Amino acid sequence: MAAQKSGIHKGTNAGFKVEVRDTKPRISRTKGRLSKRTTFVREIVKEVAGLAPYEKRVIELIRNGKDKRARKLAKKRLGTFGRSKRKVDDLQRVIAESRRTAAH
């Protein structure tokens, strides 16, 4: 944000003195951010529907120690390698949770 103008014609802060107004962030800056409601609904759907068949296959590959093959399968299904890495990490979290619940 620019500094307060000095009111002098020349110099670093040259210009007419005006009140500096706070601007709200543009909607384009918040686009893509998930709302609380959306995350809640997706969580419920995941709970009710369970895992997709390809996710079950990826979990099996992870359990057998074939992480690279799991990432490749996820990439083929999801489109990009970044998405596949995120999905595999998420599924590893699911495996860890199931182990924790089975231990108790």
Burial class (CB in 10 A: 0-12, 13-18, 19+), 47: exposed
CB 24 within 8 A of CB 57: no
Q: What is the pLDDT of residues 65-100, one digit of tens each?
A: 999 999 999 999 999 999 999 999 999 999 998 889
Burial class (CB in 10 A: 0-12, 13-18, 19+), 60: exposed
Residue 12 above 90 pLDDT?
no
Region 51-61: what's the mean pLDDT?
94
To the nearest whole number, what is the mean pLDDT of the chain? Answer: 91
pLDDT for 69: 95
Tell me how far apart the 2 most distant CA atoms of the chain are, in Å: 75
